[in-house]
Chains A and B, each alone.
Chain A
Amino acid sequence: DAKTTQPTSMDCAEGRAANLPCNHSTISGNEYVYWYRQIHSQGPQYIIHGLKNNETNEMASLIITEDRKSSTLILPHATLRDTAVYYCIVRGYNFNKFYFGSGTKLNVKP
């Protein structure tokens, strides 16, 4: 699986958009980009995934660059409850295993 690089931590003001970047420069053509988050002491929670098109769901939007070497998770209106560690993971098409890196600690401040 391709490796990912994320900033260690980020701050965001409550009500503003949180933009979390992820680099995956060695991604191959059939690998998906997944985002999970882990709120303190809870199990990781699925947020969104995509292959090459931008995706949006009720939680977030995922923007993948045209060359697919990086992506951005967007939380449009961050709340205090969005404070968590966010993991960007690249996984193969039929490959089962997820490997979690260090993630980005997002601190949403009032």
Chain B
Amino acid sequence: DAGVIQSPRHEVTEMGQEVTLRCKPISGHNSLFWYRQTMMRGLELLIYFNNNVPIDDSGMPEDRFSAKMPNASFSTLKIQPSEPRDSAVYFCASSLVGTGGGYGYTFGSGTRLTVV
């Protein structure tokens, strides 16, 4: 199993540009999560999907952020337009969630975004 795959690993972009982060969850997992990590705010949950449907996007900072999951094997997080304060490491995680509890997440290696 290749684990959760995120691309790109590093992204440097200029303020105002559109940025798209990509995630491939573990095959068979039914839930996908996007997190953002900064020194100031730690790990923040942005949005999560269950069976490709967005369930809770209350953590998405503003309308500049959007996320999609067109199928069970792919998700994107888009920032348009990007701003310097969006600079952070963005993590994707997936999980098999169902009755019985006790399911953990598997995280990807993250995308380090720098907006200049």
Q: Which residues of A contact B (CB under 8 A)?
A: 30, 32, 34, 36, 41-46, 49, 51, 92-94, 96-102
Distance in angstroms from B60 CB to nearest chain A CB is 14
Looking at the complex, which one of B42, B48, B89, B91 makes contact with A102 (CB distance below 8 Å)?
Answer: B42
For the residues of B in contact with A, the DSSP-based class is: strand
**Segment touching A, from B66-74, B77-85, B98-106:** B98-106
In contact, A96 and B91 (Cβ under 8 angstroms) = no
> Are A44 and B45 CB-contacts (below 8 A) given A32-B102, A96-B31, A96-B97?
no
The reply on B116 being an interface residue by CB < 8 A is no
* Beta-carbon contact of B91 and A98 below 8 Å: no
Where the two chains meet, the residues of B that have a C-beta atom closer than 8 Å to any C-beta of A are: 4, 31, 33, 35, 42-43, 45, 48, 50, 55-56, 89, 91, 93, 95, 97, 99, 101-102, 104-110
| A residues in contact with B48, CB < 8 Å | 96-97
Q: How far is the CA of A93 from the CA of B100 in the complex (A)?
A: 7
Identify B107's interface contact among A41, A43, A96, CB under 8 A: A43
Query: Measured between alpha carbons, how far is A92 from B101 in the docked complex, in Å?
Result: 8
- B107 to chain A: which residues have CB within 8 Å? 43-45
A-B residue pairs in contact (CB < 8 Å), sample of 25: A30-B101, A32-B102, A34-B104, A36-B105, A41-B89, A41-B110, A43-B4, A43-B91, A43-B109, A43-B110, A44-B91, A44-B93, A44-B105, A46-B105, A46-B106, A51-B101, A94-B97, A96-B55, A96-B97, A97-B33, A98-B45, A99-B45, A100-B35, A100-B42, A100-B43
